[in-house]
Structure 1
Amino acid sequence: MPHRLKTLVLLKGYPRLSETFIAQELLGLERAGFDLTLISMRRPTDKKRHPIHDEIKARVVYLPEYLHEEPFRVFRALAATWRKPNFKPLLRRFWDDLKRDISRNRVRRLGQALVLAHEWPDAGRWLHAHFIHTPASVARYTSILTGIPWSCSAHAKDIWTSPDWELTEKLAEARWSVTCTRSGFEHMRALTPRKEQVHLSYHGLDLGRFGRFTAVRPGRDGSDRAQPVEILSVGRAVPKKGYDILLNALAMLPARLQWRFVHIGGGDELPRLRSLAKRLGIENRIVWKGALAQEEVLAHYRRADIFALACRIAQDGDRDGLPNVLVEACSQNLVCISTAISGVPELLTGGENGFVVPPEDPRLFAIALERAIREPDLRYRLGKAAEKRVLEHFDHDSSIRQLTGLFETEWAKI
């Protein structure tokens, strides 16, 4: 096993049910021989956790989520660091950021960075941030103070809701950055002259955890009230997931078509969506499951006939990258219907291995749903093609090999 530097991985929160793609990567790096300590900016809020979190051996250290909650910890860090040579450069960087974005959030990230730099767990020699917005801000400030190099994994919301000036500066200072969709990759490369330091790395899927589904799904076609076609969606009830679009599309389906919609996931918008379903007159056809563990989600992929996710760009610019749930559903040869947002077309090609419709269009989404409901043979053909694409292009092991190479290339320079 090659020598690998002790690496601190900075996370927005840990563990989180909605970020199993990060947990999967952490476990893959551990299995590849990486020595990790996880630094979380928030404590967990989910009541459940995936089994994968129990497999990860890395120690977890929690920073003060709000500075006023742990004032003595923050004060000790300030008292220990303000005389250090790099404290003034850190303050200059912070002041430059604050002038362009006056917010408590900036102050909080500075305080978290001071605590991390002061306590510096487990003698880490590298810092890697997941998400290029707030975790990368803490990593950047910490790196200035400690001199420890840092790298970054960018994903979706963090790219598209960050101002260009901030992305440009972070890309200039990180040793390297990766992102998981071509649209994000091209956007980041356009903002930096160091284009060779920005890399495209799909998360991929742990195919050992999502084994092949070989059973034959029933040929339900929406004509039998006793055998409704099951439409599944997995995702948090937040604007970028487009669940209002999906509910409106479901309401447009012919009244005699027999279907049932199952939603898995938490989210602040669940009450509003339940009210919308009632107004649309479809509440009796919907099952709201709430957040479930990964093995339960897998069982639902295998039980369903169709997977649907109406991704959109939210008003604040937030959007999905390539939703991992689409990759998971495709791995189970489950036909998917989604929208032409971000990385979705990098996985799905309409008419070849799924249905892809424009965002914000419930009518076209309903047309795709109706066709998928009525044609079980088409569902089978597109689902098998989607499974083949995942097996050939979204293998988790490939992304771990790529990340390992990026880390070790830079570590060799230290």
Structure 2
Amino acid sequence: MKTILVLLKGYPRLSETFIAQELLGLERAGFSLILVAMRRPTDKKRHPVHDEIRAPVWYLPEYLHEEPVRVLRALWKVRRFPGFNRALKAFLKDLPRDVSRNRFRRFGQAVVLAAEWPKDAGWLHVHFIHTPASVARYASMMNGMAWTVSAHAKDIWTSPDWELREKLADADWAVTCTRVGYDQLTMLSGARRNVHLSYHGLDLDRFPPFTGARSARDGSNPADPVRLLSVGRAVPKKGYDVLLEALARLPTDLAWNFVHIGGGDVLSRLKEQAERLGIAGRITWKGALDQRDVLQHYRDSDLFTLACRITEDGDRDGLPNVMVEAASQGLPVVSTTVSGITELFADGENSLLVAPENAEALAAALTRMIREPDLRRNLAARAEHKVRTEFDHKNSIADLERLFTASWNREN
């Protein structure tokens, strides 16, 4: 079995537990991995799963000017590779369509990747079809190594169609984790039809059923308010500004507290917004936490909510992993109908969903869920059943094992 070099945008990352879970799953299935990241970690915490992954990790130069000797030494080496001219032509074709420092950086990182390629690595797999796949594509051309890609959400919806088409034409295959993403990439793959759908799922051993009793809080007791929870980075596509507006519209007689877990670029703006709306006293901003702490919050809370949206540049979530985690613990969900969310959750069947960007409708759904603990229990039980029967991560690992094996058999 070949050793797979897995190219990642950054590693380890608290917000990408689904990738770490997949890496560990592949190792447990018998695959040998080498991890290469384009960025060094910035999170101060690690999930337990990161410590269980045995694969060695090394890093490409995040910015070329920071390691000029390394980059020049690599360029001197790969200029003699038979595929270097092909990669250079591809880069020069891409450059007029994307004139940016980022494009030069990706080519330089590809040069280093090809030059420092480990002798025992026989395959290149990359997570995210935007900038990491650019590095993989150029490096593959240089050293002749076959490559494959896992596409997720932002990388699909913020990449131009021309770039996705050309990457899908060069990659052996692509896999993605939502039906809506699959449909988009399949359309762009043309006659190749080399895109596969595989939901990430959860490692259900890490998320065993919650056996405790859910509370009957209904917002009527100020001394025991309903506990609302959200987990996610404070970035525009998560819709936290809309969620805060919805919380501010909740009836004044409802007793509630809201906990947010996660870092993010707009966190300070959200805190200022909460102050302006007069709800800051009911909100606790926890920052980034590891998976064990997040699990405990799922179990201690009464309701999970996210207000996902599609941003102006097309960015959006797929199916947020945290929503699957919450459902696995019998925690009811209130969210929006964006993207892959409706592939697990259905309004009135196992959750309450509203259209994005509608604070009034979100407030009404939250109010209903807060006031009706029996509704919370019934919807959450159905969502948990679906997670435990259809979203086991072992299914995804089996899909990848089948795809890798088929590719290697074709090559041999």
Among 210, 219, 223, the alignment partner of 2:216 is 219
Among 105, 109, 117, the alignment partner of 2:106 is 109
1:30 equivalenced with 2:51 (yes/no): no
Q: CA deviation at 1:87?
A: 1.4
Runs ≥4 in structure 1, deviation > 6 angstroms? none
1:265 equivalenced with 2:256 (yes/no): no
Give 2:147's aligned residue: 150
Q: Could you list the per-position Cα deviations for residues 107-155 of structure 1 after superposition, in whole angstroms to 9, with x for gaps in the alignment?
A: 0011001001001025311000000001100110010000000000000
Superposed, 1:202-351 pairs within 5 Å as: 202-351=199-348
Among 25, 35, 47, the alignment partner of 1:50 is 47
Write the distance in 1 (CA, Å) between the matches of 2:86 and 2:194.
24
Write the distance in 2 (CA, Å) between the matches of 1:17 and 1:238.
15
Give 1:99's aligned residue: 96
Q: CA deviation at 1:83?
A: 2.3
Write the distance in 2 (CA, Å) between the matches of 1:196 and 1:268.
37
Write the distance in 1 (CA, Å) between the matches of 2:367 and 2:86.
60
Q: Secondary structure at the match of 1:41?
A: strand
Q: TM-score, normalised by structure 2?
A: 0.99
Among 67, 71, 74, the alignment partner of 1:77 is 74
Deviates more, 1:190-199 or 1:354-363: 190-199
Give 1:368's aligned residue: 365
| Cα separation, partners in 2 of 1:238 and 1:398, compared to 1, 3 Å | same
Q: Which amino acid aligns with 2:316?
A: R
**Structure 1 unaligned regions, length at least 5:** none
Give 2:174's aligned residue: 177
1:203–1:396 Cα contact (<8 Å) kept: yes
Q: Secondary structure at the match of 1:12?
A: strand
Q: CA deviation at 1:99?
A: 1.1
Superposed, 1:368-407 pairs within 5 Å as: 368-407=365-404
1:120 equivalenced with 2:112 (yes/no): no
Q: Could you list the per-position Cα deviations for residues 342-363 of structure 1 after superposition, in whole angstroms to 9, with x for gaps in the alignment?
A: 1000010011100110000000
Q: TM-score, normalised by structure 1?
A: 0.98
**Structure 2 unaligned regions, length at least 5:** none
Q: Secondary structure at the match of 1:359?
A: coil
Q: Which amino acid aligns with 2:154?
A: K
2:169–2:192 Cα contact (<8 Å) kept: no
Write the distance in 2 (CA, Å) between the matches of 1:250 and 1:151.
43
Q: Which amino acid aligns with 1:88?
A: N
Q: Percent identity?
A: 64
Write the distance in 2 (CA, Å) between the matches of 1:221 and 1:408.
52
Give 2:135's aligned residue: 138
Q: Which amino acid aligns with 1:244?
A: D
Q: Which amino acid aligns with 1:16?
A: R
Write the distance in 2 (CA, Å) between the matches of 1:234 and 1:122.
41
2:83–2:142 Cα contact (<8 Å) kept: yes
Q: Secondary structure at the match of 1:218?
A: coil
Write the distance in 1 (CA, Å) between the matches of 2:335 and 2:265.
22
Q: Which amino acid aligns with 1:111?
A: G
Q: Could you list the per-position Cα deviations for residues 255-282 of structure 1 after superposition, in whole angstroms to 9, with x for gaps in the alignment?
A: 1100000000000111100000000000
Q: Which amino acid aligns with 1:226?
A: A
Q: CA deviation at 1:195?
A: 5.0
Q: CA deviation at 1:88?
A: 1.1
Give 2:351's aligned residue: 354
Q: Could you list the per-position Cα deviations for residues 211-252 of structure 1 after superposition, in whole angstroms to 9, with x for gaps in the alignment?
A: 101111110000000110000000000000000000000000
Task: Number of aligned residue pairs: give it.
Answer: 411
Q: CA deviation at 1:304?
A: 0.4
1:372–1:378 Cα contact (<8 Å) kept: yes
Q: CA deviation at 1:84?
A: 2.2
Q: Secondary structure at the match of 1:7?
A: strand
